[in-house]
Amino acid sequence: NLSTLHASHYETMGDAKTAQKRLQAICSHVFTKEWKYAQELIATANAISSPGKGILAADESTGTIGKRFKSIGVENNRDNRRAYRYLLASTPGLGKNISGVILFEESLFEKMPDGSNLVDGFKKEGVILGIKVDKGTRPLPGTDGELYTQGLTDLNLRCKKYYEFGARFAKWRAVVKILPGKGPSANAIQETAHTLARYAAICQDNGLVPIVEPEILMDGDHDLATAQMWTEKVIAACYSALRLQGVLLEGTLLKPNMVLEGADCKTKYSPAAHAAATVTALQRSVPVAVPGITFLSGGQSEEDATINLNALNQPGLGYRPWSLTFSFGRALQKSVLAAWGGKKENTKAAQDMLLLRAKANGDANLGKYTGYAANAGAAKQSTYVKNYAY
C-alpha cells in the first residue's frame, strides 16, 4: 500500500502524508485510467533498483545457451540446461547482490525431478522473477541490414500467464546498429522506439514492470563521441514514444548499452571517459521519474563491465537521480560456466564464482569496487560477438 511504499522508498520526502500525496500523483496518470497494478509496478521497479544490487540476465534462448555449452564441452539438452539453471537458482546468498533474474520461458516453468519448481530457489533468496518476452530480431525492410524485434502479437496473453506464475518484470531487447558514416536510420530508430513503447504498455497493463532495452551494438569503428550522440538520440526517441503510449515511467526500468567506442575503433578510451560519455547521454535523455538504469554488458569482459560500472558511480559526474546498476548475462556467467564445466561436483565452485561476480558488481553500483575479482576465472576474457543475437 501507499504507506509501506513510503517507508521503503520515499523516506527522504518527509512525513508519510507528503509521500502519500506524491504517490497518489504518480498513480493518477494523465494519459490512462488508474491501473490496479500501478502501486505494485512502482514498488517492483524500486526493489530491483535497491542499492548494491542488480539483475542476473539468465534468459538465453535454447540456441544461445547451446553456444555457451559448446564452449565448455557440454551437450545442449534439457537436463543440462535444467542442471545449470538450477545451479544459479540454488546459490546460497544470491539475493545479497542480485535483486532480479531474467529467465527464458523454459526456465520459468521448469520442474525439478522432485516436482518442485526450478525458480523456487530464486524466490527463497528474495530474487524477483523476470521473463524475456521478445521473440528475436528480423531484418527491417528498407534498411541496410538493420533489425526489428518481433513478439507483440500475443504479448498480452503471455504476460498474463507469466504474472500468474509469479513473474513481476519483463525484458524486450531491441537492437540498433551504428552504420559506417551515417549511424542508425530514422526508420530503425522509430521502429525501435515504437515497438519498445507498445511492449512496455502491454506489460504494465498485465502487471509486469517493463525493462526497456534499446541496445546499440559495439560493432563498427566509430569513436566515443559518435556512440554518445546516437545513444542520446535513440534513448530520447524511446521516451517520447513511451509518453505517447501512456507508460507509467515510475514503473519501468531502462537497460541501455554503456557508451563505448566501436569494437574496431583504433582509439581506446578510459573507464572515466566511458562514464562521462554515458552519464551525459543519460542526463540529456532519461526522465528523473525512472527509478533504475540496469546496464547491459554488451560484449565487454566481466572485469571491464564491472570497472566501467564502478566508474559510472564515482563523484564528479553531475546529477544522477537513478540507480546505475547492472543487468549482465555474459559478464556474470562466463566464469561460472567455465568453473561448472557440466560436472555436478563443480557446483559449489561455480556458485562461489557467481557470488564473487555479483558482489563485485554490487560494489560497483555503490562506486566501491576495488578490483578484487580481476584475476578470478575468465574475468578478463572478452565476451564480444559481432552482430550478437540470442
Asked if 285 contacts 236 with a C-beta cutoff of 8 angstroms, the reply is yes
Question: Which 3-state string (H, E, C) describes the chain?
Answer: CHHHHHHHHCHHHCCHHHHHHHHHHHHCCCCCCCCCCHHHHHHHHHHHCCCCCEEEEECCCHHHHHHHHHHCCCCCCHHHHHHHHHHHHCCCCHHHCEEEEEECHHHHCCECCCCCECCHHHHHCCCEEEEECCCCEEECCCCCCCEEECCCCCHHHHHHHHHHHCCCEEEEEEEECCCCCCCCCHHHHHHHHHHHHHHHHHHHHCCCEEEEEEEECCCCCCCHHHHHHHHHHHHHHHHHHHHHCCCCHHHCEECCCCCCCCCCCCCCCCHHHHHHHHHHHHHCCCCCCCCEEEECCCCCCHHHHHHHHHHHCCCCCCCCCCEEEEEECHHHHHHHHHHHCCCHHHHHHHHHHHHHHHHHHHHHHCCCCCCCCCCCCCCCCCCCCCCCCC
- Which residue in the list 213, 215, 250, 303 is annotated as catalytic? 213
255 assigned to active site: yes
Asked if 130 contacts 167 with a C-beta cutoff of 8 angstroms, the reply is yes
Residue with C-alpha cell 524485434? 149
Interatomic CA distance for residues 165 and 303, integer angstroms: 35
Q: Counting beta carbons within 10 angstroms of the beta carbon of residue 138, is it exposed (0 to 12), middle (13 to 18) or buried (19 or more)?
A: exposed
Q: What are phi and psi of 225, to 5 degrees?
A: -65, -40
Interatomic CA distance for residues 53 and 7, integer angstroms: 19
Q: Counting beta carbons within 10 angstroms of the beta carbon of residue 208, is it exposed (0 to 12), middle (13 to 18) or buried (19 or more)?
A: buried
Residue type, 204: Q
- Which residue in the list 53, 255, 334, 359 is annotated as catalytic? 255
Please give the positions annotated as active site. 213, 255
